[in-house]
Structure 1
Amino acid sequence: MTIEETRFTVGKTTFFQGENQTYPLFRVEAGIPCQAAREQASELMGYVRDLSIDGLMEDKPQLLWASYYLSALAKALLDDAELGMAKHL
């Protein structure tokens, strides 16, 4: 087992929504392998890119909002993976 395989998300990162960012919409679960979380975040960011381009080119704000939420999820995954990796340093 490599060091990378022993690092997991810590489950502390949340994404807030609503007035003044006061409503927690979701939280990353603890125990996701950091490498898997990073890979999933990369996949999501590819979708964010595609949705952003399509939303701008086709004047579809709903696609831009979808890319906003997906990018927030990707950021939460990356942030929590970073916390899990730093925990083992």
Structure 2
Amino acid sequence: MTTEDAQFTVGQTTFCQGENVTHALFRIEPGIPCRDAREQSSELMGYVRELTIIGLTEDRPMMIWAAHYLSAMAKALMDDAELGMAQ
């Protein structure tokens, strides 16, 4: 695949948390190759899975919260990659 054929993130997706969702904690940067963004999202979801299992089996709620935040980050990456691929 050449650079001209590659698809890139658009930088429109934000991650907001808490009651006041008008202030984004972060935004996906534009120009990340969508393939890389999707691979990173998959990596994060692997960590989410592990943290969830630890949190549930060892009664460690902080691990569940960590998984919650990581899954939101992974979703933002995936959503922005999808926007880039749709262009």
TM-score of the alignment, normalized to the shorter chain, above 0.5: yes
Structure with the largest fraction of helix: 1
Summarize the alignment of residues 5-84 of structure 1 with structure 2, pairs less than 5 Å apart.
6-84=6-84
* Amino acid aligned to 1:9: T
Pairwise CA RMSD: 1.7
Task: Count residues in correspondence.
Answer: 87
- Misfit runs of 4+, over 2 Å: 1-5, 20-23
Unaligned runs of 5+ in 2: none
Give TM-score, length-normalised by structure 2. Answer: 0.92
Question: CA 1:49 to 1:5, structure 2 compared with 1: closer, same or farther past 3 Å?
Answer: farther
Structure with the largest fraction of strand: 1
Asked whether the equivalents of residues 48 and 71 of structure 1 are also in contact (C-alpha less than 8 Å), the reply is yes
Unaligned runs of 5+ in 1: none
How far, CA to CA, are the matches of 1:5 and 1:45 in structure 2? 27
